[in-house]
Amino acid sequence: MSVFILLLVLVIVVFAVKDIRISLISRPAFKFFKKVLPPLSQTEREAMEAGDVWWDGELFSGNPDWKVLHSYPKPELSKKECAFLDNEVETLLAMLDDYQIVQKDKDLPKEVWDYLKVNGFFAMIIPEKFGGRQFSAIANSTIVAKIATKSLTAAVTVMVPNSLGPGELLLHYGTKEQQERWLPTLATGEDVPCFALTGPEAGSDAGSIPDSGVVCKGEFNGEEVIGLRLNWSKRYITLAPVATVLGLAFKMYDPECLLGKEKELGITCALIPTDHEGVKIGERHYPLNMAFMNGTTYGKDVFIPLEWIIGGQQGAGRGWRMLVECLSAGRGISLPALSSATGHLCSRMTSAYAVVRQQFGVSIGQFEGVQEALARIGGLTYSLESCRLMTAGAIDLKLSPSVVTAIAKYHMTEMGRTVMNDAMDIHSGKGIQVGPNNYLAHGYMGIPVSITVEGANILTRNLMIFGQGATRCHPFVLKEMEAAGMEDDELALKQFDGLLLQHIIFAGTNAGMAFVHGLTRSYFAKSPVSGATTNYYKQLGRMSRGLAFCTDVAMLILGGELKRKEMISARLGDVLSHLYIASTVLKRFEDEGRQQADLAFVQYSVERNLFEIGQAFDGFFKNFSNPFVNFLLKRIVFPLGNHYHRPSDNIAQTICEHMTKPGVFRNRLTHLCYVDDNAGTGVMEQAFAAMNDTADAFKRIKKWQREGVLNRNASVEVVIDEAVEKQLITEQEGRRLQDANELRKQAIAVDNFSKGTL
């Protein structure tokens, strides 16, 4: 006991006496930290510093404040935004024939283009004073999602001008003159924008773009001025074939030092009219049969004045920061909207099809194999919509949460892919026959587009989420990196010492609390609510402790290698991501009044995310290079083992019961799904309603067939007529059954084409 007390006193003295602490702990740690600090490129540094830390910071803290989560305002549409959805959007959707657009015309009809321009669909983010709609991020997201349930081509066409592009960049960084010149014509559709970043030699790695702008003297409007001589080759640029104004990203050089001492100014963005001499547009790509405009743009020795740089000359070299901060629109609004739309469409149509389609004399929705996939569709749709709402809500708070939007981009597009695959599996033969009545085919074809754009998903998961999150969201690491980078070593050491002491306490607390909560199954952990979701908050808090502790250990042992150990770091990124997604589900449940009908969907979503967190930790432990550390981490985070499991069959079956019955909940779950009275979705909905209305009568028919009262081998039509003849049912009831059966046959039918018409 005396030895233990002596050791305890020594530890206290070492940490309490500043000079001793600096000499024995902080100085060696400082040298080690500088040695293992991963080298950061200028691009990485700017990306890391851009954007805002939001709820992701709480999740990385090890002790998330759930009151903060609940304090975020519930995302809601204004009256004018609701009116736009109910009027202009509905009118647009009625104009769209997606089969004609995609399979025949390969373009939107002229009247649709004109309607989009005249009615401000390209001006949702532009302020009213410039003639725009000035809609919120949640409205932007909701409008795009609703359109996407009818036509992905139309949705992308509307989406792009309202995300990363000239409008967004002008609003945040443009000079007054640039805003007054361009925003009014962008608002009216007189000008159509595109933004050119990606090229043949640079995709996700924008820092390596070879496109250049060299400062030089040239002639503009008959006068010699200092400007830029541009050369570029870009591809995959949406709206480029029809754009009238080109946003261009390039590297800016000043070899003659005409603007100052710097010769390499960095990535810069400029706005260039596409009718300017030397600009080439018009060539189209054909992305997986989708009909939205996407193509190339080239320029050789194109001279522009400096005032065409976004932000004027002051914007020179600021392009990368502009892009990273504005990418929140694409990653946090547009792509999540498309993914959520996939959920709304697939949930509504697949649940209907599961009732309407019959095999072996019963609806396929009664088979447990179908129920498993249908429950996954429903549960993921609830998660998708929850994540869409909360992420767009952050942008409406005037934030640019770069880590959160990267999480949303990656995981929502992947969830959308899973949902679509399950929907296709359940629809089976009907899903694969392309035609005017196939409401899934074009969305299925377009899934890889969402996966690829705005940072390919492999890159986003393996480099961005944890790569940025570990430094931006951690309460101390970025500050320690800044201290280590200071030129004055003594001042840096002094600052580092204070941070290190806090960091040690932080790591020790998280390790201890993770272990205690693991032993007690979080029984004594705090929860902001009571009732069915209490334990979910406790478990997420426990996993937040585990993430914070494992992150510190991984950075301590692997140092700069962690950036290159992508499989290891991606698993920690998965933990952060699933903590975030589960948080959005719980937030939505509270925002919408803890409705009992939602509970099974909340349980499915949170339990699925906890299971994925457990799997990510297991993979992290198993593949950590140091076996002793592996053993230690596992015993601290899961001292009694990993007990997280997939949602139960009972929860899945409860979800299916809600989805396959008409009513308020089903309408709320799929409220963004557009149902066209004259197309496949409308017929399917009518058949679904009719089959539910006549379900009891058809059960009686089946019972009489089993008992031998009615013919067991005749067609449905014949059996219904037989039941009427035998006065088992009335003539009116018989007509209802015949009408329902006719709708059922129409709904499960596929399109046929005459020879030579395809």
Three-state secondary structure along 10-23?
Answer: HHHHHHHCHHHHHH
Distance between CA atoms of residues 701 and 752, nearest Å: 32
What helix, strand, coil percent values describe the chain, rounded to 5? 65, 10, 25
User: CA-CA distances (angstroms) from residue 265 to 209, 262, 310?
Assistant: 14, 6, 14
Distance between CA atoms of residues 642 and 618, nearest Å: 8
Q: Which residues pair with 270 in a beta bridge?
A: 248, 309
List Cβ neighbours of 656 (8 Å cut-off, separation of 6 or more): 351, 354, 365, 371, 374, 375, 378
Distance between CA atoms of residues 10 and 495, nearest Å: 24
* H or E segment to which residue 298 belongs: strand 294-305
- 3-state SS assignment for residue 195: strand
* CB burial of residue 212 (10 Å; 0-12, 13-18, 19+): middle
* Tally of CB atoms within 10 A around 706: 11
Strand 294-305 versus strand 279-280 pairing type = antiparallel
Active site residues: 454
Distance between CA atoms of residues 349 and 354, nearest Å: 9
Report the Cα 274 to chain-centroid distance in Å: 31
User: CA-CA distances (angstroms) from residue 604 to 233, 350, 493, 536, 609?
Assistant: 47, 18, 49, 11, 9
Number of H helices, E strands in the chain: 34, 9
Do residues 164 and 195 lie in contact, with contact meaning Cβ atoms separated by under 8 Å?
A: yes
- 3-state SS assignment for residue 194: strand
